[in-house]
Chains A and B, each alone.
Chain A
Amino acid sequence: MNLEYKMESVKTFYYDRPIIEKGYANQTLFVDISVPDISVKPVDEIMKEVFIGGKGFDLWLLWHAVKSSTKWTDPDNAICISSGPMGGTPLYPGSGKSIVTTISPLTGSVIDSNVGGYFGPYLKFSGFDALEVKGKTEKDIVILIDGIDEKVEILETSGLPNDSYDLSAILTEHFAQGKPRHISVVSTGPGAKNTRMGCLNFTWYDLKRKRARYKQAGRGGIGSVLADKGIKAIVARWDTVKVDTNNPADKNALKTVGRKHSKEIVELDPKQNEMATIGTTHLVTIMNDFDLLPTNNFQYGNHPEAVNVGQEVYRRIFDAGYDGCWTGCTVACSHGVKDFVPLTGPYKGTKVFVDGPEYETIAGCGSNLGIFDPHTIVEMNFYCDAYGLDTISVGTSIAFAMECFEMGLVDETHTRGIHLSFGNRLAALEMVHQMAEGDGFGLIVGQGVRQMKSIFARDYKADPHIMQDIGMEAKGLEFSEYMTKESLAQQGGYGLALKGPQHDEAWLIFLDMVHNFMPTFEQKAEALHWFPMFRTWFGLCGLCKLPWNDIIPEDNKDTPEPAKVMKHVEWYAEYYTAVTGKETTPDGIIRMSEAVYNFQRIFNLKMGFGQRDHDDIPYRAVGPVKPIEYESRHERYDKELVEKHHVDITGMDTEEKSRRLRKFREALYEELKDAVYKRRGWTANGIPTLETVTRLGIDFPDVLELLKAHGVE
């Protein structure tokens, strides 16, 4: 690519790279781009003991960086990135993750997003367990963390491309010194600048295909924060990674447990979901078969054309070959499409490589928009990545706008002539292009569902009550792509999630609805305790959650608690001990997570959220909003009214039955809140009790003061 660009160093910080000790560099990197200033902060034992790493370190740094009044655009808002003590281990599957946190443009509170690619491990091996970036700058900058030459540099740039696709490729080549695998780039694109749902692209270099590949820290608009700060990219440079690089406490024990898990995945993945071949696309038809695939803004759970965007199609479209987003990962699920030619936008007619799509993108930018053309979904995927947009928020936001259009709440005078109906592929693509350009109706859609509800009510006089029911956001974050109407446990999994309705905290829908592992109310509450604790722990340690319960031991079904896949949990405890030298058990894993989890809940409280009312979800997540939704599942709903709630429905019309059902279901959700809060050690208002924070060792003076201000003492 021939492009005239300039990069000029404005600040260079040289340092002595510390030796990694048992998975830790024992220091973090602080960069204030306003000054500019670069410095190092120590990591003490208490920080490691209580916050472990990854999301825990991020939250601790962010907690001290921001005030309760800090807004996402304030210079004080920090972007924190950390992997974790096991992050960067090449022989244990899924050990290359990073977690990113910031104050979210969508929620106004703390957001966390996990992502693959090489950046987190390279950051740590360069000498830093976490990166904290504050400040804002008028001129575009690139931050370079060079662990090989032991320097951190801020460079002013001009002439670099705006989109992430070309930008990452150029920066990889620029800094590689002939070894592109040594580079990982974090960047975003023009969509991030013009919306609240910008994502970050993290690269890993694909030696076989000779190109930078991408994974996304998608949720919550972290890319919009990066763009608002004026940061074009953050680049890490590091050398070859071996098991010794992370300097584990017991290398032999690590090798033993790592090989066991790797071997099992190699043996069982081909017999199970073939994630090494088709990624998460297998979920499309399975969700559709069980009436769980969001269709037309979560109105319905299946569609006869879903098979057109399922794994049988993408199996043929994906470029075959190894697709691990971290060295040696045997799950290797990061598939992509080679030589794809977009039909619209700036890359129209050009061959590009597209990383994805995964299930969430297929459902969000496909079925939920009434789109069942696999190539349109690939194109949506490509442009969202290139523009730096989160495919989940983009999909759910456009779906809401489409339903509003079909209901007449907005019309073509608002959309500037675009017929924004379900299934209109070109209209959906046009929305994405407009988000990138910051123009037209796409500019409004790009503000997210919560903002759209306000704008449509204020400017277009749309009915706020119906929009509240059908606008699929909670805490300001758009729902990810599962239908929760018939699973109370998953309603809690979304509604009680700390950052908003994202499935990475508690994916209980199948365990609840299909496997029936939690038939009682208490069992649902119990699952809403332990499942998020396991998932949280992966984010503390630099690990991917997929190897835990996406490839299952053959004898798992005969264990007392098959939903927990305890054989793997025990392996993870061994893994943690082997790296850090600290003995732990499955119970110890829960305990580690609880401390960070409760701290994040309190962080929400600090930012003005984190109480019972903030755990509300729109009614469409709970039951049928419109008569047509009720009628699409009338047998289920009639049966529920009669058998569960003992209602005589004789002669009742659909609207009356819907009203009665709503009353029962909303009450059940409130009861679920009570049960979960109690199980988690929270007050009836959803605030961790004094006893809980003391037990978990997070009873810091400022935490106690905050609790006291909210009546907890």
Chain B
Amino acid sequence: MMFRINGKQRSWYEGMTVADLIRDLDDSHHYAVVRINDTHVSRPYFEKTLIPENSEVFLIPLIAGG
């Protein structure tokens, strides 16, 4: 059971949230937004957003905007 993160395969487990993923990454960068397939998910929703199996996840490094 896998999903892809920034183009790379990674193991997936039932109930995995975005917050779980960020913790597992051991990446000190303070991500504010990720994209799961076509949907943006912001940090306030990391804890309650599940990552679906076989999904494509992108970590958005910075929101510049404007």
Contact = CB atoms under 8 A, between A and B. Distances in A.
Interface of A: 271-273, 280, 282-283, 285-286, 289-290, 311-312, 315, 359, 480, 482, 503-504, 507, 509-510, 514-516, 545-546, 548-550, 552, 554, 556-558, 562-563, 565
Contacts of B29: 557-558
B64 interface: yes
B22 to A, nearest CB: 13
A289 B44 contact: yes
Contacts of A507: 64-66
A-B pairs, top 6 by smallest CB distance, nearest first, are A507-B66, A289-B42, A549-B64, A503-B66, A557-B29, A552-B61
B9 to A, nearest CB: 15
Contacts of A514: 32, 43, 63
B32 A273 contact: no
A549 B60 CA distance: 12
Interface string B33-66: 1010011101111000000000000101111111
Contacts of A285: 40, 42
Contacts of A557: 27, 29, 61-62
A312 B39 contact: yes
Given A286-B42, A312-B39, A550 B58 contact: no
B6 A510 contact: no
Contacts of A565: 62
B62 A556 contact: yes
B65 to A, nearest CB: 5
B31 to A, nearest CB: 9
Contacts of A286: 33, 40, 42, 63
Contacts of A549: 62, 64
Nearest to B44: A289
Contacts, number: 77
Contact of B58 (A272, A283, A482, A556): A272
Contact of B38 (A271, A289, A312, A548): A312
A563 B38 CA distance: 25
A272 B33 CA distance: 10
A285 B60 CA distance: 14
Given A285-B42, A311-B40, A514-B43, A562 B62 contact: yes
B4 to A, nearest CB: 11
**What is the predominant secondary structure among interface residues of chain A facing chain B?**
helix
Interface of B: 6-7, 27, 29-30, 32-33, 35, 38-40, 42-45, 58, 60-66
26 contacts: A271-B6, A271-B58, A272-B60, A272-B61, A273-B60, A283-B63, A286-B33, A286-B63, A289-B42, A290-B32, A482-B66, A507-B64, A507-B65, A507-B66, A510-B62, A510-B64, A510-B65, A515-B30, A516-B30, A546-B64, A548-B64, A550-B64, A554-B6, A557-B27, A557-B61, A557-B62
A480 to B, nearest CB: 8
A382 to B, nearest CB: 23
Contacts of B33: 286
A552 B62 contact: yes
Contacts of B42: 285-286, 289-290
B18 to A, nearest CB: 12
A515 B62 CA distance: 8
A596 to B, nearest CB: 20
Nearest to A270: B58
A503 B33 CA distance: 21
A504 B62 contact: no
A282 B43 CA distance: 15
A282 B66 contact: no
Interface centre among B32, B33, B44, B63 (most CB of A within 10 A): B63
B66 A504 contact: yes
A545 B39 CA distance: 25
Contacts of B66: 480, 482, 503-504, 507, 545
A169 B61 CA distance: 41
A290 B44 contact: yes
A546 to B, nearest CB: 8
A433 to B, nearest CB: 30
Interface centre among A271, A311, A549 (most CB of B within 10 A): A271
A290 B44 CA distance: 7
Contacts of B6: 271, 554
A519 to B, nearest CB: 12
Nearest to B7: A271
Contacts of B35: 272
B40 to A, nearest CB: 6
B37 to A, nearest CB: 10
Contacts of B45: 289
A212 to B, nearest CB: 27
Given A507-B66, A549-B62, A558-B29, 10 more contacts: A272-B61, A273-B60, A283-B63, A283-B65, A289-B45, A507-B64, A510-B63, A510-B64, A545-B66, A554-B61
A450 B42 CA distance: 36
B28 to A, nearest CB: 8
B54 to A, nearest CB: 17
Contacts of B30: 515-516
